[in-house]
Amino acid sequence: MAFAKNEIRHAIENREFVPYFQPLVDLRSGALEGFEILARWHHPTLGLVPPLEFIPLIEQYVLMNEFTVCILTQAFLAAQSIPSTIGFSANVSPLQLHDRSLPALFTRLAKEAAFDLRRLTVEVTESALLDDLSLAAAVAADLKSLGIRLSLDDFGTGYSSLLHLQALPFDELKIDMSFVRSMVESRDSRKITAAVISLGQSLGLRTVGEGIENPRQAELLTWQGCHIGQGWLYSKAVPAADLPRLLAQQFPGATSLSGTPLSSAIGLEANPVDRLSQLRAIYNGAPVGLCFLDRDLRHVNINQQLADFNGLPIEAHLGRTVAELFPETFLNAEPYLRRALAGEATLAVEMTHAGAIEGSPALTLLTSYQPARDEADEIVGISISLVDITAIKQSEIALRHTSEHYKNTVDLSPNIPWVADATGKVLSISSRWQAVTGLTLEQSSGDGWLSTVDPRDVEKARIHWSEAIRTGQCMDMEFRIFGADKVWHWMRTRSTPYRDAAGNITRWYGSIEFIDDQKQVLETLKESESMLRSVFDTAPAGLVQLDHAGIVTNANPRAQQILGCLIPHGSTWSAFPWKLFNRAGILVPVPDLPLSRAIRLGESSTAVELKVRRPDQSDLWISATAAPVFSEQGKIVGGILAMMDLDIARHGHSGGPQNPLAPSRGISKVHILPPASPTLRLINIPRLWIHPAKI
C-alpha cells in the first residue's frame, strides 16, 4: 500500500512508528546477548504495518534521519531499564551511510537518553557500499570513533563482499536468513554458511545467524562455529513492554546430535580455524596414508604419507580420480568405494598397490573405507586410510611360504577378533578361539562361548554385555576361561559398536587377549608388598617413616613398643606425648632430633643415644639413627627413623647382658622403591647400623 509523504511525516511526528526488539542469543549457552531494534507502524486505522511497506517510502521521501530519531529515541529510553551488559543493534539505510552528519545524530540521541554508544551496533547492507565506498568508509570510521560497532548485514547476497570487508572496520557478519532457513535441507546452503563463518573467524569477526526457526538450524550453525543466533526459535520481535519477559526467559542452547549440551560433546574452546589447524597437524603427521575423495571419486585431500606410497607429489593427486592415476588399483578398490558411497564402511581390506613410478616394488596395503558425512548426515565423500604392511607380508611369506591375505594375518595375531550382532550374539570369531578353547565356531556362536567361561564370571559377563547393548557404549571386561590345555586363563575382551546411516547399532566388533601375565604380575606385586610389610613389621629395630610434612606413613610394632604408645598412620609426629633427652639430661628440641634434621636438611645421622620419657612417665634409653628418604629424582620426600632399646641391646633384658651387636656407622641413605602397585607404600632400607660406642 502506498502512503503519502505527509502521512509518513505525520506518523513520525506522532510517534506512530515504534521500536520492536528481537533477542540475540549465544548459540552455545543460550545466554541473552542483546536485541536488534526493528521498526513497526501502529497505524490508527490499518493497525500494525510491516516495515517492508513503509521503509522504502521513507527512503524515497528522504525522511530517514527523522525516522531514525523517532525510533532510536524510544529505544534508548527503553534501554535505561535494561542491564548495561545487554547490547542493541540498529539498521541504517544506504543513504544514511553517505551522510557525514549521521555520527553527530547518534551522539545527540545518546546524550539525550544517557545511552552508552558502546552498547550499540550499527548494521549496514552491502548495497550501502556500492555508490561511494570511500565516503561510506569515512562515515563508518566516525561511527567507530564513538565506540559504535559495525555489522555487515545479509552477508553473501551482495557484491564485492571481500573488498568491503577489507575496506571498512567491521566487527560482525550477519549470515542472510535465506541460507539459514534452507541449510538443513540444502548442502549448498550449509557450504555457504560454513564458508561465511570460517571467513568471519579468520578475520576475527563475530558471526550472527539470522532467521533461525528450529533447533536443528541452531545446532548446525553452532557446529560450524557461529556465535550468535536470531530468529523465531527464540522469539519474534516484541514491543518495549515485553522486554522484562524476554530478560527473564531461559533461551535454549544448541545441542549435539546425541541430545547432550554441545559444549560438553565437542571441544568448542578452540574456534573452527584453530580446530582446523589441529586436525591438519594430526592429518599430516599420521603414520598411515590418508585421503578424502568426493562423490565423483576425485582426490580432494591427501596427506604426505599416502603421496609417498603412490610416488607422486600431493598436488598431482588433487582433482584427479583414482581411476585416472591408478587404474589397476581402482579395479580392486571400486567395490569398496561404491559401498562407502552407499553408506557402508569396509575395514581392513588387504590390497596390492603399484605406485606411479615405473619399476618400483608393489606395496601390500591394509585399506579401510569410511563414508564421510556432513553436519546433516549426508554422505559427501569417502575417507580412506592405508597402512603399509609389506614388511609384515614378506615376513609371513618367509615363515609360512604362503600368500594368504588378511584373514591369516588376523589368525596369527595373539588377539582373537570376533563379531556380534546388535543384540550381542556372536556371529563369527577367529579360528584361534577354537585352538584356545576347543570350541568350534558353531559351538561359540550366539551365547555358546559362555560355556567355557568360569561360572564365577558368567553373570558378570552377562551384566557387562547387557549394559553395553543398553547404552551403546564400548564394552571392556575381564573373565576366566577353561582352555583346551586344561588350564584356567585370564582373558580381556573389548568391543566397539558399528552404526548404520540412521545411527542404529548393527554390529559389535571386538577382540580377546590373554592377560595371564598381567594378572601374574599383579599377584607377584601383592606378594612382594605383603613380604615387605612382614619384614617391616617384624624387624627387631623400631622403624618409623614420615613424609616431608612430618606425617606418619609407617610405624612397625617394635617402634610402638619402644615408645610406649600407638603410632597411627596419618598422625603428626611432633604431636606425640613422649620427650627425648640427651646424655646430659637436657631436653632435645624437636628440630634438632635426628629424624627432623634428616627431613629438613637431608642429613643422615650416626647412632645417637637418647633417653625417651614415655607417656606412662617411664624412661628408656635408645640408640636412634635417621636418614632422609629420596625420590628417584633425588628430592627429599620424607625420613626414616630406626631405634634400638639399649637396655635389651646391652643386657638382653633388665636382669642381664645380651650378645653385643655388630658395630656400625648408622643409616646412610634411603631410596623409595619405584611404584610397583597403587597400594605399595613400603620403603627399601639398605642397612641398619648401631653406633659401637653405645653397645
Beta carbons within 10 angstroms of residue 168's beta carbon: 20
Catalytic residue flag (residue 210): yes
* Backbone φ, ψ for residue 104 (5° rounding): -65, -35
Q: List strand residue ranges (DSSP E) for 11-140, in order.
A: 17-26, 32-43, 47-49, 87-91, 120-125
Task: Output the CA torsion sign for 541, 547, 549, 552.
Answer: negative
The grid coordinates of residue 474 equal 564400548
User: For residues 369, 373, 379 and 383, what is the CA-based torsion angle, rounded to 10 degrees?
Assistant: -20
**CA-based R_g, the chain, Å:** 40
CA angle 215, 221, 222 (to 5 degrees): 85
What are phi and psi for residue 476, nearest 5 degrees? -145, 115
Q: How many CB atoms lie within 10 A of CB 245?
A: 10
| Catalytically annotated residue among 172, 210, 219, 375 | 210
Work out the widest C-alpha separation in the chain, in whole angstroms.
128
Residue 493 CB neighbours (<10 A): 20
3-state secondary structure of 690: strand
Asked whether the beta carbons of 3 and 56 are under 8 A apart, the reply is no
Cβ count within 10 A of residue 480: 17
Find cell 524510544 and name the residue: 74
Distance CA 609, CA 666 (A): 12
CA 517 centroid distance within chain: 33
Which residues, other chains included, contact 26 with Cβ-Cβ below 8 Å and sequence gap of 6+?
Answer: 32, 33, 227, 228, 229, 253
Sign for the CA dihedral angle at 490, 496, 498, 499 comes to positive
Helix (H, G, I), strand (E, B) or coil at 384: strand
Q: How far is Cα 546 from Cα 555, in angstroms, rounded to an integer?
A: 9
The strand pair at 636-645 and 542-547 is best described as antiparallel
Residue keyed to cell 527464540: 234
Locate all alpha helices (DSSP H) within 88-132, ordered by sequence. 102-113
Q: Which residue has the cell 552377562?
A: 462
Q: How far apart are CA 629 and CA 551, in angstroms?
A: 13
Pairing of strands 670-671, 619-630: parallel
Catalytic residues: 210
